[in-house]
């Protein structure tokens, strides 16, 4: 229960609360007043273009930054006689919640809607399209529901698609010759390839062939893109003898075909490789497709060198070890798998100690400090050591269990705890703990529980260790869910090699390493912490404000940068007022009050000029990389196809609002001029997985990604190069070197 100590404390807290609210409201009103002058007219904020292909209306929207469309408000209709519209195909939108429509899906940047056309009268040459839509601006302005009209030409809509027309032209026919005939499938629809790993040394490539189509038996080609393996003689089944008007007597394959590929590997290690297949086929009714190319990304499993069969190779080149760079996470995975387990544990403890000084772990320092300060007169060096150790062990065990479950089940438990409800709830816990530090109330259990706890305490001499352990559990799940290369290495060993013992041991060693500096800090705090008197009250108040700072830091993941800066400013105003009235001695009171008030003013000015970091409030947002947003695998494939046509490599960033390292990339790496210049020739994509919904998980599972930040690189053919993956934060200079190395490999 909560027990109020005195009215004066409540009066002070009430004054601080009202002053903080007024400070935030004033800042937000200034920012909004500035922004309201820049509302775009709807035709500028939301531009769309309508084209027709193969009896489908393709509506491409371009949405200006800072604006969004509601998915459920997009509707398409026509009153033109002889034409009907089918059900629109709308991609999955971004999850969004606002004060106008509650929880909904929205689109930003670009979106394409596909609407089937049902032509009942072939003489119809156009239709009048009505487009219903509604959208908003991020600053809080919403446009009313609007209907726009477009006159759309249907000339060519009932004939072959553009690709089919081009093929007919190449074969000496014209589109008019094809009128009244069947609609020909695209090559990827007529011939659908797939791949299967039969065993570590054999692959099987299969094609599903649509009825009325066939593949040429002698047109198959297979290429190992990586030097990590070579291909043996393909086992192609016999085909059906056929006279072809283009190639004469030949063998054709119908319905379905499977080709076994023996391979020779440079190393038995599990690794990602790429296979390129080429093939050509025709439709029996008269058109032939140009040679088609398809790439596969394969994860070869761990193998035994003794099992390597004696396979004749397609070429006589000697098999060599892959010269491509090995990613950091793969190198560490080999350390986990192949090293002595004690040596591996020492390596990961050392890595953990280094990670302890990153933004993912540093917020645990004030949490542990507040637990130690809360002991008051009972605090001793031994007690501080015990509390610190319990906190770290609870954090380490939770980190390990969550990692093993994540890898084995494919569900990121830590990402689930980044839901806004969880973040707000945990932030409220810190607010309550902070108020207790201010002696606004004391947190007491019922008397019978206190008596029992006192008996246990007298026997164990260890205090309330359960509460400390629970705080360690929550810290592991909510405060520091950062993805880094060592963590991914352990998850790879668990998920792909099935070794939960070694992977779990690596995770535990890593988290113990992260906790060692915390134990040292906590124990030393027990040594120098004042035991009683005015200084003790001042120290408790300082840690109370640190707890409030943790709450603000957590909630800033859910705010705009301007709102976050203003909230930090409000906290500094509260610190200044409290310090001037409560801190001891007087010189310290004045020093803290002036410094906090000055910092609050700087933060407020930073919010006004567009700064993005409370650590650099006088630096406005620097030019940064502009990403195109994607949500699903289908959107990614469409962008990769576009990049391949433009002969551009692709960089894809997995991002989340709750990811601390993602924010570091955003503020420190992607704003670097050399990085921006190095990526100028790239197509830049970003998958925002903040929601961690089904579509987000499918996209991450497709690439065996455990969470953000993870950055993928694709070559000009749209094939991912896994050896260039970046996991965890990387500073601008090494990241620029990494991008330059990847670009050089494309030459």
Q: Is the pLDDT of residue 492 over 70?
A: no
Q: What is the pLDDT of residue 72?
A: 86
Could you please report the per-residue DSSP string of 646-715?
A: TT--EEEEEE-TT-HHHHHIIIIITT-HHHHHHTTTSEEEEEE-SS--HHHHHHHHHTT--SSSEEEEE-
Per-residue confidence (pLDDT) for residue 168, from 0 to 100: 37
Q: What is the dihedral of CA 674, 663, 99, 95, to 10 degrees?
A: 90
Mean pLDDT for 57-72 is: 89
Mean pLDDT value of segment 220-237: 84
Report the chain's terminal Cα–Cα distance, integer Å: 69
Of the pLDDT bands very low, low, confident and very high (cuts 50, 70, 90), residue 37 is very low
pLDDT at 712: 95
Q: Where is pLDDT greater, at 33 or 387?
A: 387
- 340: tokens are 């002595």
Rounded-to-integer distance, Cα 232 and Cα 671, Å: 47
> pLDDT class for 163, splitting at 50, 70, 90?
very low
Rounded to 10 degrees, what is the CA torsion of 345, 348, 349, 352?
Answer: -160
Q: Are 518 and 388 in contact (CB under 8 A)?
A: yes
Asked: is 42-153 a CATH 2.60.40.1250 domain? The reply is yes
pLDDT above 50 (res 463): no
- Which CATH superfamily is 187-323 part of? Thiol:disulfide interchange protein DsbD, N-terminal domain (2.60.40.1250)
Predicted pLDDT of residue 414:
52
Contact 287, 184 (CB under 8 A): yes
- Residue 471 in contact with residue 433, Cβ under 8 Å? no
The DSSP-derived string for 244-310 is ETTTEEEEEEESEEEEEEEEEES--S-EEEEEEEEE-EEETTS-BPPPEEEEEEEEEPP--GGG---
Mean pLDDT score across all residues of the chain? 76
What is the mean pLDDT of the segment spanning 329-336? 67
Residue 454: per-residue pLDDT: 47
pLDDT tens, position by position, 674-719: 999 999 999 999 999 887 788 888 898 888 787 788 999 999 888 8
List the single range of 164-173, 289-298, 327-336 with lowest mean pLDDT. Answer: 164-173
**How far does Cα 582 stand from its chain's mean position?**
44
The mean-pLDDT minimum among 212-226, 292-306, 393-407, 523-537 falls in 523-537
Specify the pLDDT at position 660: 72
Give the C-alpha separation, 472 to 367, whole Å.
9
Q: Cα separation of 445 and 459, whole Å?
A: 19
Q: Which residues 6+ apart lie within 8 Å of 433 measured at CB?
A: 370, 544, 547
* pLDDT at 745 exceeding the cut of 80: yes
Express each pLDDT in 607-621 by its tens digit: 888 777 787 788 776
Place of tokens 């100590």: 5
What is 327-357 written as a DSSP string? PHHHHHHHHHHHS-HHHHHHHHHHHHHHHTT
pLDDT of residue 478: 64
Decide: helix, strand or coil at residue 547: helix
**pLDDT level of residue 352 (50, 70, 90 thresholds):** confident
Tens of pLDDT, residue by residue over 466-478, are 778 888 887 777 6
Does the fold of domain 628-745 match that of domain 187-323?
Answer: no
Q: Which residue has the higher pLDDT, 509 or 416?
A: 509
140: left (phi over 0), alpha (psi -120 to 50) or beta: left
**pLDDT-derived band at 152, boundaries 50, 70, 90:** confident
Task: State the DSSP H helix or E strand holding residue 437, giving kind and residue range, or none if neither.
Answer: helix 420-437
- Residue 574 pLDDT > 70, yes or no? yes
For 231-270, letters b (16+ CB in 10 Å) and e give bbebebeebeebeeeeeeebbbbbeebebbbbbbbbebbb
Q: CA–CA separation, 713 vs 742, rounded Å?
A: 8
Percent of the chain past pLDDT 90, that is, above it, reads 15
Q: With a cut of 80, say whether residue 191 has pLDDT above it.
A: yes
| Residue with the larger pLDDT of the pair 6 and 586 | 586
The predicted model gives 714-741 an average pLDDT of: 89
Q: How far is residue 636's CA from residue 642's CA, in Å, rounded to a whole number?
A: 10
Q: Is the pLDDT score of 329 beyond 70?
A: no
- Taking residues 1-23, report their average pLDDT: 46
Condensed to tens digits (0 to 9), the pLDDT of residues 591-604 reads 999 999 999 999 99
Higher pLDDT, 32 or 501: 501
Q: Where are the domains of the chain?
A: 42-153, 187-323, 331-556, 628-745
Q: Which tops the pLDDT comparison, 286 or 697?
A: 697
Average confidence (pLDDT) over 16-42: 51
pLDDT class of 34 with cuts at 50, 70, 90: very low
Q: What pLDDT shows up at residue 69?
A: 92
pTM of the model: 0.44
pLDDT of residue 734: 92
Q: With a cut of 60, say whether residue 644 has pLDDT above it.
A: yes
3-state SS, residue 598: helix
The answer to whether the peptide bond before residue 585 is cis (omega within 30 degrees of 0) is yes
- Counting every residue, how long is the chain? 747
pLDDT band at 304 (very low <50, low <70, confident <90, very high): low
Paired strand residues for 153: 126
CATH level 2 (architecture), domain 628-745: 3-Layer(aba) Sandwich (3.40)
Whether the pLDDT of residue 164 is over 70: the answer is no
Contacts 24+ apart (CB under 8 A), 397-400: 397/508, 398/472, 398/473, 398/476, 398/477, 399/476, 399/507, 399/508, 399/510, 399/511, 400/504, 400/507, 400/508, 400/511
In this structure, of 7-11, 68-72, 257-261, 355-359, the range with the lowest mean pLDDT score is 7-11
């Amino acid at each position: 229960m909560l027990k109020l100590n005195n009215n004066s404390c409540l009066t002070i807290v009430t004054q601080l609360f009202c002053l903080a609210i007024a400070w935030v409201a004033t800042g937000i009103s200034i920012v909004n007043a500035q922004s309201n002058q820049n509302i775009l007219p709807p035709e500028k904020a939301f531009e769309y273009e309508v084209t027709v292909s193969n009896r489908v209306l393709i509506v491409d929207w371009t949405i200006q930054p800072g604006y969004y469309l509601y998915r459920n408000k997009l509707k398409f209709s026509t009153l033109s006689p002889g034409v009907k519209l089918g059900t629109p195909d709308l991609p999955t939108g971004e999850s969004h919640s606002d004060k106008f429509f509650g929880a909904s899906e929205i689109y930003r940047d670009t979106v394409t809607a596909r609407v089937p056309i049902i032509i009942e009268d072939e003489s119809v040459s156009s239709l009048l399209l009505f487009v219903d839509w509604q959208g908003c601006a991020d600053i809080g302005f919403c446009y009313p529901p609007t209907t726009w009209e477009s006159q759309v030409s249907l000339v060519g809509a009932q004939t072959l698609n553009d690709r089919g027309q081009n093929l007919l032209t190449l074969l000496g026919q014209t589109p008019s010759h094809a009128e009244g005939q069947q609609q020909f499938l695209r090559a990827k629809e007529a011939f659908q390839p797939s791949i299967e790993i039969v065993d570590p040394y054999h692959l099987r490539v299969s094609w599903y062939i649509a009825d009325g189509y066939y593949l040429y038996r002698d047109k198959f080609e297979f290429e190992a893109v990586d030097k990590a393996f070579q291909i043996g003689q393909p086992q192609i089944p016999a085909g059906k003898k056929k006279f072809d008007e283009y190639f004469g007597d030949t063998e054709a394959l119908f319905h379905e075909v499977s080709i076994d590929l023996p391979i020779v590997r440079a190393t038995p290690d599990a690794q990602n490789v790429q296979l390129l297949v080429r093939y050509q086929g025709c439709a029996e009714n008269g058109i032939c497709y140009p040679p088609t190319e398809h790439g596969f990304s394969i994860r070869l499993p761990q193998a035994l060198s003794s099992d390597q069969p004696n396979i004749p190779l397609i070429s006589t080149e000697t098999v060599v070890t892959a010269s491509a760079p090995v990613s950091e996470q793969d190198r560490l995975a080999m350390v986990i798998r192949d090293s002595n387990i004690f040596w591996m544990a020492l390596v990961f403890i050392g890595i953990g100690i280094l990670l302890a000084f990153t933004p993912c772990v540093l917020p645990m320092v004030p949490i542990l400090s507040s637990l130690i300060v809360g002991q008051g007169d009972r605090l001793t060096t031994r007690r501080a050591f015990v509390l610190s150790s319990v906190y770290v062990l609870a954090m380490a065990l939770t980190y390990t269990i969550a990692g093993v479950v994540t890898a084995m089940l494919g569900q990121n438990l830590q990402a689930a705890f980044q839901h806004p409800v969880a973040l707000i709830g945990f932030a409220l816990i810190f607010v309550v703990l902070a108020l207790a530090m201010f002696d606004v109330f004391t947190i007491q259990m019922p008397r019978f529980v206190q008596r029992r706890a006192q008996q246990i305490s007298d026997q164990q001499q260890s205090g309330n260790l359960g509460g400390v352990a629970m705080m360690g559990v929550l810290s592991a799940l909510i405060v520091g869910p950062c993805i880094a290369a060592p963590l991914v290495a352990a998850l790879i060993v668990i998920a792909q090699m099935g070794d939960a013992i070694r992977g779990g041991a690596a995770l535990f060693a890593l988290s113990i390493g992260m906790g060692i500096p915390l134990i040292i800090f906590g124990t030393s705090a027990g040594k120098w912490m004042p035991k009683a008197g005015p200084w003790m009250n001042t120290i408790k108040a300082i840690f109370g404000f640190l707890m409030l700072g943790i709450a603000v830091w957590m909630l800033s993941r859910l705010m705009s940068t301007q709102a976050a800066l203003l909230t930090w400013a409000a906290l500094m105003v509260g610190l200044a007022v409290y310090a001037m009235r409560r801190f001891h001695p007087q010189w310290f009171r004045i020093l803290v009050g002036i410094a906090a008030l000055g910092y609050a003013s700087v933060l407020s000015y930073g919010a006004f000029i567009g700064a993005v970091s409370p650590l650099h409030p006088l630096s406005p947002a620097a030019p940064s990389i502009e990403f195109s947003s994607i949500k699903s695998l289908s959107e990614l494939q469409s962008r990769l196809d576009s990049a391949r046509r433009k002969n551009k490599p692709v960089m894809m960033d997995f991002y989340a609002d709750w990811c601390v390292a993602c924010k570091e990339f955003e503020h420190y790496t992607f704003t670097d001029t050399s990085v921006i210049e190095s990526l100028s020739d790239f197509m830049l994509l970003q998958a925002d997985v903040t929601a961690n919904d089904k579509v987000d998980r499918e996209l991450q599972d497709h690439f065996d990604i455990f969470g953000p930040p993870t950055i993928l690189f694709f070559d000009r053919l749209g094939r991912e190069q896994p050896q260039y993956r970046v996991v965890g934060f990387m500073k601008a200079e090494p990241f620029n070197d990494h991008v330059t190395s990847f670009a050089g490999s494309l030459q």
